[in-house]
């Protein structure tokens, strides 16, 4: 089982770097088998991270980062050969070339702070991806987005045109995006859309989940009188705000902060948390098991 | 409306220090009226904190800390005189003498870490209260508690003896405790008990409320895969884990932390959060309005 | 003693809001005198914060936020009258009109992240100031800055032209800026410049001061193997990185983070810390005493 | 090169668990060689962590945790065989049996909070070590320590008796302690003592190093007006407060906090930071290279 979608643009300096993600039932010999395999194929492991749910019979997760001479040419051979190892251990696995930047489609509504953070980190070279397009149900941010040289696609969504809008969205991203980022996109994503991008849609929810699921979380937080607010980046599943959590962060607030203050303070948390989640995804640091993430960061 | 319960032990160095807590509908002239009143009565304000929910017609909260010569003798006069100011502004108010330590009754079950933290801070002089007694539904901590010179009252609670146990608890604390601290006390407190100590029962809940209300919050947190866990100190009301939040704190966790790790990490958070909440209460820094706290710390 | 520089632009919604900052030797009656004075002049105190260094004879600091009808017309009268109160208590004091936005001159070199954060928060309405100009020793950010409608002044600085460059800088800001913000400006500010803007130049230093004073703090931090890095916003004084600290924040790092990682992580801390420092200054929340700040936030 | 000191007490549940720490110059094939070696010897790797300073020619660090049947009997054989692998890669290495608790000698002066935290975590089962003795230059804590069943050795230190006191200390710990913990021990440790315990003496310094090296760090922090204070656990080297940093943590403070408040707040940070550092050491999670630590936690 292996990810096959194409990633276009190249980073010469990481030309021979690859990342391997494996999850499988735990049993003796996995690390030895994989590292021996890589060594035999001339790959030099530059980083490894491993997590075993339970030594006595749970799941095993491992991430290797390795360098291999002539990676572009050698990788297909290595992948073909690896199938035997993978079969032996009943592995789910992927190998990603670091030089192939992932392509992002960013969805946005009217709040621009999360989009701006991504654009900005991207421009600063901190977000090693290609931003293929920005899709919005509003026309407002066209000028901003196009000033970065990024295509802006305005797809209005109304109660009547939901199905048609989604069809257009899917057409826009199909074959052109490896990851969908909901950067404060305020429309519901349907199961039909989600199944096209399993664990490849990241949403930022403006609360410390599972507190304050659903709408107006800052108003809910103010009402409850919490002393700390937060934000959560998670993969989107059919359950609203219920998908695997990738990252969370928080900040202290006080009785002095009204709902607008919470929104203002929260904007900074949201920006940072979403950017971290996206960064870890595009660096192939996240494995999903059941409804939880293993993040090797 | 004024708090009249008695506080016994004396701290000579704060002999003339008092703390005044006021909440009232907001309108012009409150600060002027109170500070002028205090000045006229010879009191020197050493700290003031103020919070106005909404300048255009909400609630107003203020805390004064002041020194007054011969406080013990002068306070009754000052209080009597203040009634006129209070009436004019429709104030709820209290004046507490700093030299009179509040008397705590600490309730505990089998987990000792929150109790130990309180005993320890108390012994180090960081918790300026009198620990009047420790009440437990288990006999386990008698030796520990008595080694601090504190009475230990073992009141077993079973399904059959609940009502009787509560009667004994109320008898034990009645007139002898100003604040009830539930330091991981695992029994439900009934409305009958709560109404004897309105906003004077502090509980530590081992989650970042309102996430994971109820039992086994660490197991719930593990299940949901959160990346940060927390603890919450709150006043106890009839709604389970729903009372006014006093303080919260959190710590980062990862996929590597299993339920036992969460419990271990959480113990440190719980200790710190409960101790802070108790400290603020006994320093008369907390005002409750509706279901929220104003904490002047 | 009173601040007299002019602030131009107006915010109608805060037309009648003023902020008063006072520091003076501590003695009885200060709060009463000021609040009574304000009440007599028809001002409604909407927020007050007070800090007393030492009840037995230190300094006293207070901040009032109040509303006064026809503030523009009434303020000169109130200020004139207040001189008597101020004299009695030997006060240093200022009253600022909330409706008069402070004018910022932002100095920047080649790193754009701090500038961008300020521009962005300003555009989002979170930074209630006027950005009068951006001054840089490099031409690089002209297009960016001018796209926000803000004048960009390029004043090159070389070893030979330092004095001349400073003369041009002073000419540019003189009478046109209330606050100088050094948003990663990499040139030394001379005492001559500093004395024109006492406690009105905010610098962001990219370390957790007083650790790693001077150049290349992230390289120093990496070398020392610290587990947490930080940033510090401070007022500029003649002592390099030695002025009053306004705000600091930190983030956890690990052995895995090399110098470039520290810089990247640090950029987010720097942005947030500088923006907070500037926000508190322009909201008149900071008092400086000796080499320390009192921040009423 | 291998650690040979003896560790006495046994934990049956981890009877067959071992931890292996390796550092060596980086080159291809290390992970493969070691994991293949372990697999061939019947060991099951349950956790691995790896860090490579620089793929193109730096140092390589790895930690394995593995289970091996009949460990006590098999380990000597495995160690002997591993020498060949180690030689090939020029490795510094150690294998520790998880069932052999490390023996701690805790040094303390007059402040008890760090000692208490360690005793308490030890009693709660969170600190998986044997506390062999507490050594103090004061008699004060004898009763407390002995109540835990731990030997208390009072070795007074005066200007005249320093050399003699150190001789007694060395005699006390020699062959009986694997780790020295300076839990707020206020005397200088001499190079002669340090060389007996290279990277096996952990000190808690009550500041966020390298800020405020040396005496009275809270007074220094107050003087400088910092907005965040911290504590640092580090290995002791000849340079005062200059050894490899293991862990740091911080907490926010404000102008309201005087030196005593900083000390009080700091106590909680010190306790937590020291306990974390000790925990990581006794779980064999720390590698030292030059003056920095690699912590696999």
Q: For A67-119, write each residue's pLDDT tens digit.
A: 999 999 999 999 999 999 999 999 999 999 999 999 999 999 999 999 999 99
Query: Same domain for D113 and D140?
Result: yes
The residue with greater pLDDT, A246 or A2, is A246
Predicted local distance difference test score (pLDDT) of residue C214: 87
Per the CB < 8 A criterion, the answer to whether C241 and C217 are in contact is no
User: Cβ–Cβ of A35/D32 closer than 8 Å?
Assistant: yes
Of residues A178, A192, A261, the one with CA closest to residue A222: A261
Contacts D293 to C, Cβ<8 Å = 225, 255
Type and span of the H or E element at D120: helix D113-123
Query: Of C30, C36, C47, which is closest to B32 when you measure between CB atoms?
Result: C36
Contacts B46 to C, Cβ<8 Å = 52, 55
Q: Which residue of A has its CA nearest to D51?
A: A47
Residue D46 binned pLDDT confidence (cut-offs 50, 70, 90) = confident
User: Cβ–Cβ of B293/A210 closer than 8 Å?
Assistant: no
Taking 70 as the threshold, does the pLDDT of residue A205 lie above it? Answer: yes
Predicted local distance difference test score (pLDDT) of residue D45: 86
Catalytic residue among B26, B178, B241, B257: B241
Predicted local distance difference test score (pLDDT) of residue D25: 94
Q: Which position has the token pair 């941010």?
A: A141
B35 interfacial to chain C (CB closer than 8 Å): yes
Type and span of the H or E element at A104: strand A102-108
Where is average pLDDT lowest: A240-254, B216-230, D5-19?
D5-19
Query: Same domain for B134 and B279?
Result: yes
Query: Same domain for D274 and D142?
Result: yes
Q: Calculate mean pLDDT across residues B221-244.
A: 96
Touching chains, C (3+ CB pairs < 8 A) = A, B, D
Taking 90 as the threshold, does the pLDDT of residue B29 lie above it? Answer: no
User: Cβ–Cβ of C268/A272 closer than 8 Å?
Assistant: yes
Q: Give the CA count within 13 Å in the CB-facing half-sphere of C110.
A: 1
Query: Same domain for A125 and A73?
Result: no
Q: Is residue D220 part of a domain?
A: yes
**Ordered strands of the C59-67 beta sheet:** B92-97, B17-25, B59-67, B44-52, C44-52, C59-67, C17-25, C92-97
Predicted local distance difference test score (pLDDT) of residue C297: 86
Predicted local distance difference test score (pLDDT) of residue B53: 84
Per the CB < 8 A criterion, the answer to whether C148 and C116 are in contact is no
Catalytic residues of D: 241
DSSP chain D: -----------GGGTTEEEEEEEEE--TTHHHHHHHHHHHTT-EEEEEEEEES-TTT-EEEEEEEEE-TTHHHHHHHHHHHHHHHHHHHT-EEEEEETTSPEEEEEEE-S--HHHHHHHHHHHTT-S-EEEEEEEESSSTTHHHHHHTT--EEE----TTTHHHHHHHHHHHHTTT-SEEEESS--SPPPHHHHTTSTT-EEEEESSSTTTT-SS-HHHHHHHHT-SEEEEEEEE--SSTT-S-EEEEEEEE--TT--HHHHHHHHHHHHHHHHHHHHHHHHTT-EEEETTEEEE--
Task: Supply the CATH number for residue C255's domain.
Answer: 3.40.50.170
Q: Calculate mean pLDDT across residues B242-261.
A: 95
Query: Same domain for D200 and D64?
Result: no
Separation of alpha carbons A134 and B37, rounded Å: 62
Query: Same domain for B161 and B77?
Result: no
Query: Same domain for B92 and B116?
Result: no
Q: Is residue D1 part of a domain?
A: no
Number of neighbours of residue D142 by Cβ within 10 angstroms: 15
**What's the pLDDT tens digit per position in A3-17?**
333 334 445 568 999
B251 interfacial to chain C (CB closer than 8 Å): no
Domain finish residue from B97, B131, B146: B97
User: Cβ–Cβ of D48/A31 closer than 8 Å?
Assistant: yes
Residue D263 binned pLDDT confidence (cut-offs 50, 70, 90) = very high
Taking 90 as the threshold, does the pLDDT of residue B231 lie above it? Answer: yes
Query: Same domain for D128 and D149?
Result: yes
Q: Calculate mean pLDDT across residues A9-26.
A: 83
Catalytic residue among C112, C241, C257, C284: C241
**What's the pLDDT tens digit per position in C179-236?**
999 999 999 899 999 999 999 999 999 999 999 998 999 999 999 999 999 999 999 9
User: Cβ–Cβ of B120/D124 closer than 8 Å?
Assistant: no
Domain finish residue from C97, C118, C136: C97
CB pairs under 8 A between A and D: 66
- How far is CA D74 from each of CA A56, A256, C133, D18, D62, rounded to the nearest angstrom? 21, 64, 74, 11, 22
Query: Same domain for D259 and D187?
Result: yes
The residue with greater pLDDT, D134 or C55, is D134
Predicted local distance difference test score (pLDDT) of residue A57: 65
Q: Is residue D28 part of a domain?
A: yes
Task: Supply the CATH number for residue D67's domain.
Answer: 3.30.70.260
Query: Of B248, B256, B292, which is closest to A51 when you measure between CB atoms?
Result: B256
The residue with greater pLDDT, A286 or C159, is A286
Percent of chain A residues past pLDDT 90, beyond the cut: 84
B272 interfacial to chain D (CB closer than 8 Å): yes
C15 interfacial to chain B (CB closer than 8 Å): no
Q: What is the mean pLDDT of chain A?
A: 92
Q: Is residue B40 part of a domain?
A: yes
Structure tokens, B70: 């011969």
Separation of alpha carbons A218 and A230, rounded Å: 9
**What's the pLDDT tens digit per position in B184-200?**
999 989 999 999 999 99
Predicted local distance difference test score (pLDDT) of residue D29: 86
C58 interfacial to chain D (CB closer than 8 Å): no
Predicted local distance difference test score (pLDDT) of residue A62: 95
3-state secondary structure at position A5: coil
Query: Same domain for C255 and C111?
Result: yes
A264 interfacial to chain C (CB closer than 8 Å): yes
List D286's β-bridge partners, or say none. Answer: D295
Separation of alpha carbons A100 and A178, rounded Å: 11
Tell me how far apart the terminal alpha carbons of chain A are, to the nearest angstrom: 24
Touching chains, B (3+ CB pairs < 8 A) = A, C, D
Number of domains in chain D: 2
Predicted local distance difference test score (pLDDT) of residue A1: 34
**What's the pLDDT tens digit per position in C144-180?**
999 999 999 999 999 899 999 999 999 999 999 999 9
**What's the pLDDT tens digit per position in C229-287?**
999 999 999 999 999 999 999 999 999 999 999 999 999 999 999 999 999 999 999 99
Predicted local distance difference test score (pLDDT) of residue B47: 85
Label residue A187 exposed, middle or buried (CB < 10 Å: 0-12, 13-18, 19+).
middle
B18 interfacial to chain C (CB closer than 8 Å): no
Touching chains, D (3+ CB pairs < 8 A) = A, B, C
Q: Is residue B59 part of a domain?
A: yes
Looking only at the bridges linking them, the beta strands covering B59-67 and B44-52 are: antiparallel
Label residue B119 exposed, middle or buried (CB < 10 Å: 0-12, 13-18, 19+).
buried
Q: Is residue A140 part of a domain?
A: yes
C51 interfacial to chain D (CB closer than 8 Å): yes
The nearest CA of chain D is from the CA of C292 a distance in Å of: 5
The nearest CA of chain B is from the CA of D1 a distance in Å of: 31
Query: Same domain for B275 and B145?
Result: yes
Q: Is residue A3 part of a domain?
A: no
CB pairs under 8 A between A and B: 69
User: Cβ–Cβ of C226/D249 closer than 8 Å?
Assistant: no
User: Cβ–Cβ of B36/C36 closer than 8 Å?
Assistant: yes
Query: Same domain for A130 and A271?
Result: yes
Predicted local distance difference test score (pLDDT) of residue A6: 35
Contacts B120 to D, Cβ<8 Å = 113, 116
Looking only at the bridges linking them, the beta strands covering B152-154 and B179-182 are: unpaired
Q: What is the mean pLDDT of chain B?
A: 92
Q: Is residue C127 part of a domain?
A: yes
Taking 50 as the threshold, does the pLDDT of residue B5 lie above it? Answer: no
The nearest CA of chain A is from the CA of D45 a distance in Å of: 7
Contacts D226 to C, Cβ<8 Å = 209-210, 245, 248
Q: Which of residues 231-250 of B touch A (CB under 8 A)?
A: 244-250
Looking only at the bridges linking them, the beta strands covering D102-108 and C292-295 are: unpaired
Look up B241 and say whether it is catalytic.
yes
User: Could you list the residue range(s) of the whole structural domain that residue D248 is in?
Assistant: 102-295
Catalytic residue among A26, A112, A178, A241: A241
Taking 70 as the threshold, does the pLDDT of residue D56 lie above it? Answer: no
Domain finish residue from A70, A97, A124: A97
């Amino acid at each position: 089982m292996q990810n096959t979608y194409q990633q276009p643009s190249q980073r010469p300096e990481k030309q021979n770097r690859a990342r391997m993600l494996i999850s499988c039932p735990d049993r003796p010999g996995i690390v030895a088998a994989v590292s021996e395999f890589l060594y035999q194929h001339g790959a030099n492991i530059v980083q490894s991270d491993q997590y075993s749910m339970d030594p006595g019979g749970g799941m095993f997760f491992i991430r290797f980062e390795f360098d291999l001479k002539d990676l572009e040419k050698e990788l297909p051979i290595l992948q073909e050969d690896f199938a035997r190892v993978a079969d032996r251990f009943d592995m789910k696995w992927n190998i990603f070339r670091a030089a192939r930047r992932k392509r992002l489609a960013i969805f946005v509504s009217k709040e621009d702070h999360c989009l701006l953070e991504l654009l900005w980190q991207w421009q600063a070279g901190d977000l090693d991806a290609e931003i293929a397009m920005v899709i919005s149900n509003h026309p407002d941010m066209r000028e901003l987005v196009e000033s970065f040289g990024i295509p802006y696609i305005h797809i209005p969504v109304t109660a009547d045109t939901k199905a048609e809008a989604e069809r257009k969205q899917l057409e826009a991203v199909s074959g052109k995006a490896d990851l969908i980022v909901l950067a404060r996109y305020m429309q519901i994503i349907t199961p039909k859309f989600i199944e096209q991008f399993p664990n490849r849609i990241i949403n930022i929810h403006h609360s410390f989940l599972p507190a304050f699921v659903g709408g107006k979380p800052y108003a809910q937080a103010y009402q409850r009188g919490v002393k700390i607010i937060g934000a959560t980046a998670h993969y989107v599943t059919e359950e609203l705000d219920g998908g695997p959590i990738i990252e969370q962060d928080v900040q202290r607030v006080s009785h002095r902060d009204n709902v607008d203050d919470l929104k203002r303070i929260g904007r900074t948390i949201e920006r940072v948390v979403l950017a971290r989640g996206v960064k870890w995804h595009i660096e192939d640091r996240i494995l999903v098991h059941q409804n939880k993430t293993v993040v090797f960061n």
